[in-house]
Amino acid sequence: MIAAFRYEVRRLGSLRGTRRVPGVAAVVAAGLGVAAALAVSAGASERVVALFRLGGTLPALAAAVVMGAAASGHERHHGMRYVTLAVVPRRAWLTLAKTTCTVVVCALTGALVALAAALGYALALAWAYAGDRTLIPDGAAADPVVQGVAPTAAAAVAAGVLGLAVGWLARWYRTSVVVAVAVVVLGTPLAAGRLLTELPTVGDGLARAEQSLRDTPVLSALLNPRILTAWPPLRSGLHPIPPTSLAATSLLALVALVGLVAGAVKWQRG
Amino acid sequence: MIETIELTSTRRSRGSGGGPVERVSFDVYPGQVTALLGAPGSGKSTVLRMMVELEPCSGRTLFGGRPYHALRPAVREVGLALNPDALHPGRTVQAHLQLYSAAGGVPKSRIAEVLEVAGLSTQTAVRCGRLDAGQRQRLAIAAALIGDPAALILDEPHALDSHGRAWFHALIRAYAAQGRTVLVAAADPDSLAGTADHVVILRRDDEDGISRVIASRSAAEVFDERRATVVQVRSPQAARLAAALETEGARLSTAGPGALQVRGLDRARIGEVAHVAGICLHELSEIGHDDDVFGLRPVPRQKELLPGLSHAGAEGASFATVWSSGVRLVGSDTDTQPLDIEEAEVIEPAVETLVAVVEVVPDAPVTDARGQAEVPGQTAPQLAPATEANAQIAAPVQDRPPQVDALAGSEQASPVAAGETQTDASHSTDASHSDDQVQNQAEQAEQAEQAEQASQVLEARPDRDASDTSQQAQDQLSEVGRVLTNPPQAIAEAPSQQTAEAPPQRAAESQADIDRVAPEPSQTETPPAPLASRRSANRAFGTFRRTRIKATDDVPGGAHSAPVVVEATSASAQPAVPFTVAAVPAAPVDDGMTPWRAAAARAVRQQEQDGLVVEAASAEQEASA
C-alpha cells in the first residue's frame, strides 16, 4: 500500500501539469473575479455580475477533471500503464492510491481556484471603490472568502473523481477529457436545474438540507448563502444553477461514484 | 528461479495485440541467460507480459515460488524492460527513474548509479521526449536495474546500436554470472547465440495461429541443431532416392529436376543409403546449414519487389536488369534453377547502381584460402566464363573508384597489422580515407585479430607486388566475372579522379576474393599485398560473410557515383553463392537479416570473443557524454 501511495505521489509530483493546471485555473479565476468587481463598479446588472462570479468557479472544475483524468487515461495515453502495473502489481492498492491522491489534489485545486477568484473580486472591488465599503452597492459586497472555498472544493473533488473514471473507461484520452469537462461545467448544472424544476420534492429536500447545513455552527461559516436560494438566475426561473451548488455537486458526485466503480473494475481486470 | 506454468491466452487477452499463446511452460534458472526466441509475432512479448501479470491469462508464473503480485516490492525482485517507449515525454530521465525508486523504496543515490551503468549520466535532466530510441532503450534497462533485482526480464533491445548491444550482452552476462536470473526475449537467434545459456523457442502454428513452446534446451544444443547441414543430392532416380531417404528420417525438399536437398542426414549416410538402394548419384554435396530449423527466420522479402531478378542468373548477361539494391542471388544450379533472393536491402534507391555478381558454378575443384591446395570432397565453386557483354561492362568497372561500404565494417588500419607487415603507405592512406565515417574500438579490435589471421595467410605468398595486385584483380574479375549491371552510361559518369585513388582497394578486395576461388593456384601468385589487400582478406576470414565494395563520391563536389557491389561469401554458404572460402571457419548465418544488422551482430560476437565488451561500453558512454 505504501509503495502504491509513494508511486502515485511521485507520479503527480513529477508531472508539470500537476503544477501548471491549477496555476492556470487560479489565474483565470482571479481574472474573472476582477472582471466581476469591475462590472459591479460599472453599474452592470446583477445577472452579469453573477455570471462573472459563476465563471470564477468553472476553472476549478475543469482543472479537477484534467487532473483526475491524468491519473488514469493520461497514463495509458503515454504507455505508462504497464510501467505502473509492473512497479505496483497490486491493483487494488493502486486504485485506492489513485483515488485518494486525486481527491486530495482536486480539493486543493478547487480551494486554490476559489480563493483566487474571491481574492480577485475583493481586491478589485476595494480598488474600484477606493476602500470605502459604504459605496459598494447592496448585495455586491465580497462574501467571506471561506464561504466560496468549501463548495468549490467539494465540486472539484466530484469533478476529479469523474475525470478519473472517464480516464479508465474511455479509450480516447483527449476527447474524453473534453467531454468530461463539458459535462461537469454545463451538463450537470443543467441537469440539476431541470431536476429541481421538475421534481419539486427533490428541490425542497435539497433546500432543507442546505438550511440544516447552514444552521450547523461550523458549516455555516463555510457555505455561501447564495449557493442555492439566493442565486439570481434561479430565483428568476432561469437555468442552469451554479455548478458549485449543493444540487449540482450532489448530482455530479453521484455520477462520479458510479463511473469510479465501473472504471476501477475495468482497471482491475485490464 | 522463474517457473512459468502453462500460460495460455484467455479470450480477453487475445485481442490485445500480441499473438495468442497456449500452454507456455518453461523454467528460467539462476546463473544463466535464458533466451526466449521466436519469430516476430510469435508472442514473446505477450508471454513476458503474462509472466508479470500485465495481461490476463490462465496459468501462473512463480518468481522464487511466489507470483508476481506477491513480490514486495516488485522492483527489488524483478527488473522489467518490456517497452522502452513507455515514457512520459514531459518527465525528465531522473524523474522517470524516481517513479521506480519510490515504488521500490530504493534510495535516490541508486538512480545515479544505474544512469552511470546505462551511459545516461549526462542525460539526467533531459526530458524523456527528447531521448532517441537507443537512449530510451538504455533508460528502460536502467529502470530495470534500479532495484538491483534478483531477476531480469528484458525484451529484445531493438534500438541499440552495435556498441549498445555489446554493452547489453555484457551486462546480462555479468548479471547472470552473479547468480541472478536473466530472461531475454529476442527474434534474432544470432543476436543471442554467444550470450544465452538456455533457449526457449516459441513458434506460431500456421494452422491455428497459436504460439507454443517447441523447444527448451541448452543454447549449444539449439544452435547446433540450427546449423544442421543441408546436403544436396542429384540423381536420375530422384524419386527412389527420396523414398529411401525418407525412410531414414531425412527431411527432403526439391531443388530442381533430379535434385534434392536433404536435412537430417550427413553425406556419408546419404551415400550409404543410395548405395544400398542401388541408386546412382550425380551429386552429393554439402551446401550449407539449415538456419531455420525452428522457424525463427523472418519471412523473406518478396521477389515481386524486385521484378526480373529471378531470371537474371539464368540468362547470364542480363544487363537490362537494373539492380539498385544489395540483393544477393542464391541458386543451387544456375542452369536449372531460377535464382532465389536470399537477402534484400535497398542501398541507394535513387542512385543508379552497378552490381557485379561473380557467379559460381558447382562441380569444380576449390582451393583453400591460400589458393594452394584443393579441398577434397567438397563442392567446388568456379567462376563462370564471362560473355562478351560482360567484358564490355567489366572494363569500365575497373575504372570505377569504389569505396568499401561502411556496412561491411570499418577499414581502419590496425596497429597490429601495421606492425607485422610493411605496407604501401599510399594504399593505406587511400583505404583509411574512405573509412573515417566508421571508427570505433570494437571494430579496431576485430580488425586487429583479423589482421593477424591475414598476415599468416599472406606469409604464404610473400612475393606479391602491391602495385600489381590491383590490376591483376581487375583483370581476373573482368575475365571470369559475370556482371549484371545497369546501363553503362552510369559508369561513364564516374569522375576520373576517383580512378587514381580507389582502385587499389577495390582490386585488393577483389583479389582476395578471387584468390579463394581461383581454379589454378598459379594464377593467384602475386607479390605481397598492400594493407588494403590484407584488410580485405581479413574481412573475408569468416567474420563477414558478405563484402560490398561500393563506389562512392570521393571527389569533393563531384557528381554522385554509382555504387559497385561485389558479392562474396564464405565456405559455409551454398555452392551458388558467388565466392567461397574453403578454409575459413563457418561464418555466422545472416540469412533474413539486413546487412546492417548482420554486420552489427557479427561485430558484437567478435567483440565478445575478444573480451573487449567493457571497452566498447565505456567508449559508448564517452560517446553519449
Q: Which three cell numbers stand for residue A152?
A: 468549490
How many CA atoms lie less than 13 Å away from B571 in the CB half-sphere? Answer: 19
Query: Of the candidates A158, A180, A152, A153, which has an alpha carbon nearest to the alpha carbon of residue A168?
Result: A180
Q: Which DSSP symbol is given to B285?
A: E
B75–A contact, CB cutoff 8 A:
yes
Q: Do B54 and A82 touch (CB under 8 A)?
A: yes
Instruction: Read off the pLDDT of each residue in B51-55 and give the average, rounded to a whole number.
Output: 87
Instruction: Read off the pLDDT of each residue in B246-269 and give the average, rounded to a whole number.
Output: 83
What is the nearest CA distance from B75 to chain A, expressed in angstroms? 6
Question: Is B438 a residue whose pLDDT tops 50?
Answer: no
CA distance B461 to B458: 5
Q: Do A78 and B71 touch (CB under 8 A)?
A: no
Identify the three-state secondary structure at position B342: strand
Query: What pLDDT does residue B536 have?
Result: 41
**Counted domains in chain A:** 1
Query: Could you say which of A6, A16, A269 has the minimum Cβ distance to residue B103?
Result: A6
CA distance B559 to B541: 34
Task: Write out chain B residues lying below 8 Å of A87, CB-based.
Answer: 74-75, 99-100, 103-104
B142–A contact, CB cutoff 8 A:
no
Contact (CB, 8 A) for B334 and B358: no
Which of B61-75, B81-95, B110-124, B452-466 is the least confident region?
Answer: B452-466
Q: Do A89 and B69 touch (CB under 8 A)?
A: yes
DSSP string, B100-121: HHHHHT--THHHHHHHHHHT-G
Q: Which DSSP symbol is given to A140?
A: -
pTM comes to 0.56
The CA-CA-CA angle for residues A155, A66, A210, to 5°, reads 5
Residue B408 confidence class, pLDDT cut points 50, 70, 90: very low
What is the nearest CA distance from A110 to chain B, expressed in angstroms? 24
Helix, strand, coil % in chain B, rounded to nearest 5: 40, 20, 45
Query: What pLDDT does residue A26 have?
Result: 92
The CA-CA-CA angle for residues B166, B170, B171, to 5°, reads 115
Query: What pLDDT does residue B144 have?
Result: 92
With a CB cutoff of 8 Å and minimum separation 6, the contacts of A13 are none
Query: What pLDDT does residue A130 have?
Result: 74
Query: What pLDDT does residue A264 have?
Result: 86
B534–A contact, CB cutoff 8 A:
no
Q: Do B103 and A82 touch (CB under 8 A)?
A: no
Which of A2, A19, A21, A88 is the best mutation test for B, with the most CBs of B within 10 A? A88
Q: Do B105 and A86 touch (CB under 8 A)?
A: no
Task: Write out chain A residues lying below 8 Å of B82, CB-based.
Answer: 82, 86
B306 vs B282: which has the higher pLDDT: B282
Using the structure block, give the residue that is written with the C-alpha cell 527489488.
Answer: B76
Q: Give Cα separations from B285 to B246, B260, B262 (angstroms).
A: 18, 11, 10
With a CB cutoff of 8 Å and minimum separation 6, the contacts of B406 are B435, B437, B438
With a CB cutoff of 8 Å and minimum separation 6, the contacts of A222 are A146, A147, A149, A150
Q: Do A14 and B99 touch (CB under 8 A)?
A: yes
Query: Of the candidates B91, B80, B180, which has an alpha carbon nearest to the alpha carbon of residue B140?
Result: B80
What is the nearest CA distance from A88 to chain B, expressed in angstroms? 7
Query: What pLDDT does residue B218 have?
Result: 82
Helix, strand, coil % in chain A, rounded to nearest 5: 80, 0, 20
Q: Which three cell numbers stand for residue B91?
A: 518527465
Q: Which three cell numbers stand for residue B623?
A: 560517446
Task: Write out chain B residues lying below 8 Å of A269, CB-based.
Answer: 12, 56
The CA-CA-CA angle for residues B526, B528, B531, to 5°, reads 125
C-alpha torsion B265→B266→B269→B270, nearest 10: 80
Question: Is B258 a residue whose pLDDT tops 60?
Answer: yes
Q: Do B53 and A10 touch (CB under 8 A)?
A: no
Query: What pLDDT does residue B441 have?
Result: 52
Task: Write out chain A residues lying below 8 Å of B100, CB-based.
Answer: 87
Q: Do B74 and A88 touch (CB under 8 A)?
A: yes
**Largest distance between two CA atoms of chain B:** 77
Task: Write out chain A residues lying below 8 Å of B98, CB-based.
Answer: 10, 14
Query: What pLDDT does residue A150 have?
Result: 80
Query: Could you say which of B74, B91, B96 has the minimum Cβ distance to residue A89?
Result: B74
Q: Do A3 and B73 touch (CB under 8 A)?
A: yes
Task: Write out chain A residues lying below 8 Å of B147, CB-based.
Answer: none
B608 vs B156: which has the higher pLDDT: B156
Identify the three-state secondary structure at position B231: strand
Task: Write out chain B residues lying below 8 Å of A3, CB-based.
Answer: 72-73, 102-105
Rg of the Cα atoms in chain A = 19
Contact (CB, 8 A) for A98 and A88: no
What is the nearest CA distance from A80 to chain B, expressed in angstroms? 5
Contact (CB, 8 A) for B540 and B451: no
Query: What pLDDT does residue A270 have?
Result: 67
B431 vs B118: which has the higher pLDDT: B118
Q: Give Cα separations from B107 to A12, B148, B387 (angstroms).
A: 19, 11, 73
A240 prior amide bond cis, ω within 30? yes
Query: What pLDDT does residue A217 have?
Result: 64
Instruction: Read off the pLDDT of each residue in B282-311 and give the average, rounded to a whole number.
Output: 55
Tell me which residues of chain A have a C-beta less than 8 Å from any C-beta of chain B. Answer: 3-4, 6-7, 9-11, 14-17, 78-80, 82-83, 85-90, 269-270
Determine whether B11 is exposed, middle or buried from the number of CB atoms within 10 Å of its CB (0-12, 13-18, 19+).
exposed
Task: Write out chain B residues lying below 8 Å of A83, CB-based.
Answer: 83, 86, 99, 143
Q: Which three cell numbers stand for residue A199?
A: 421534481
φ/ψ of B381, rounded to 5, equals -75, 150
Contact (CB, 8 A) for B139 and B118: yes
Which of A14, A15, A72, A268 is the best mutation test for B, with the most CBs of B within 10 A? A14
CA distance B412 to B604: 17
Mean pLDDT, all residues of chain B: 62
End-to-end Cα separation, chain A, in angstroms: 20
CA distance B13 to B20: 8
Q: Do A88 and B85 touch (CB under 8 A)?
A: no
Identify the three-state secondary structure at position B349: coil
Residue-level pLDDT, tens digit, chain A, 270 residues: 788 888 888 888 888 888 899 999 999 999 988 888 888 888 877 777 777 877 778 889 999 999 998 888 877 788 788 888 888 888 888 899 999 999 999 999 998 988 888 888 888 888 887 766 666 666 566 555 556 778 888 889 999 999 999 888 887 878 888 888 888 888 887 787 777 777 778 777 777 777 777 676 666 655 655 544 444 444 444 445 677 777 788 888 999 999 999 988 887 776
Kindly report the number of other CB atoms within 10 A of residue A184's CB atom: 28
What is the nearest CA distance from A12 to chain B, expressed in angstroms? 10
Instruction: Read off the pLDDT of each residue in B555-568 and give the average, rounded to a whole number.
Output: 37
Instruction: Read off the pLDDT of each residue in B302-311 and give the average, rounded to a whole number.
Output: 40
How many CA atoms lie less than 13 Å away from B15 in the CB half-sphere? Answer: 3
Q: Do B99 and A85 touch (CB under 8 A)?
A: no
Residue B11 confidence class, pLDDT cut points 50, 70, 90: low
Query: Could you say which of A14, A16, A83 has the minimum Cβ distance to residue B86?
Result: A83
Which of B61, B88, B126 is the best mutation test for A, with the most CBs of A within 10 A? B88
Query: What pLDDT does residue A145 have?
Result: 56
Question: Is B601 a residue whose pLDDT tops 60?
Answer: yes
Q: Do A80 and B87 touch (CB under 8 A)?
A: yes
pLDDT tens figures, B464-496: 444 444 444 444 444 433 333 333 333 334 333
CA distance B441 to B41: 35
Q: Which three cell numbers stand for residue B296?
A: 525463427
Query: Could you say which of B82, B99, B105 has the minimum Cβ distance to residue A82?
Result: B82
CA distance B447 to A201: 90
User: Could you tell me the residue range of the domain that residue A152 belongs to?
Assistant: 2-269
Task: Write out chain A residues lying below 8 Å of B86, CB-based.
Answer: 78-80, 82-83
Using the structure block, give the residue that is written with the C-alpha cell 538402394.
Answer: B277
**B544: region left, alpha or beta (phi > 0 left; psi from -120 to 50 alpha):** beta
Q: Which three cell numbers stand for residue B613?
A: 565488451
With a CB cutoff of 8 Å and minimum separation 6, the contacts of B568 are B513, B540, B546, B547, B578, B579
Contact (CB, 8 A) for B624 and B132: no
Q: Give Cα separations from B334 to B285, B313, B385, B558, B578 (angstroms).
A: 16, 6, 13, 39, 11
Q: Which three cell numbers stand for residue B84?
A: 522502452
Share of chain B above pLDDT 90, in %: 10
Query: What pLDDT does residue B325 have?
Result: 32
Residue B201 confidence class, pLDDT cut points 50, 70, 90: confident
Determine whether B69 is exposed, middle or buried from the number of CB atoms within 10 Å of its CB (0-12, 13-18, 19+).
middle
- The bridge status of strand B251-254 relative to strand B259-263 is antiparallel
- Nearest Cα residue in chain A from B81: A83
B69–A contact, CB cutoff 8 A:
yes
Q: Do A269 and B56 touch (CB under 8 A)?
A: yes
Q: Do B12 and A86 touch (CB under 8 A)?
A: no
**A–B CB contacts, 8 A cutoff, strictly below:** 76
Kindly report the number of other CB atoms within 10 A of residue A220's CB atom: 12
Question: Is B348 a residue whose pLDDT tops 80?
Answer: no
Task: Write out chain A residues lying below 8 Å of B149, CB-based.
Answer: none
Question: Is B271 a residue whose pLDDT tops 80?
Answer: yes
Which of B12, B82, B99, B100 is the best mutation test for A, with the most CBs of A within 10 A? B99
Query: What pLDDT does residue B182 have?
Result: 92
What is the nearest CA distance from A103 to chain B, expressed in angstroms? 21
Task: Write out chain A residues lying below 8 Å of B56, CB-based.
Answer: 269-270
B350 vs B298: which has the higher pLDDT: B298
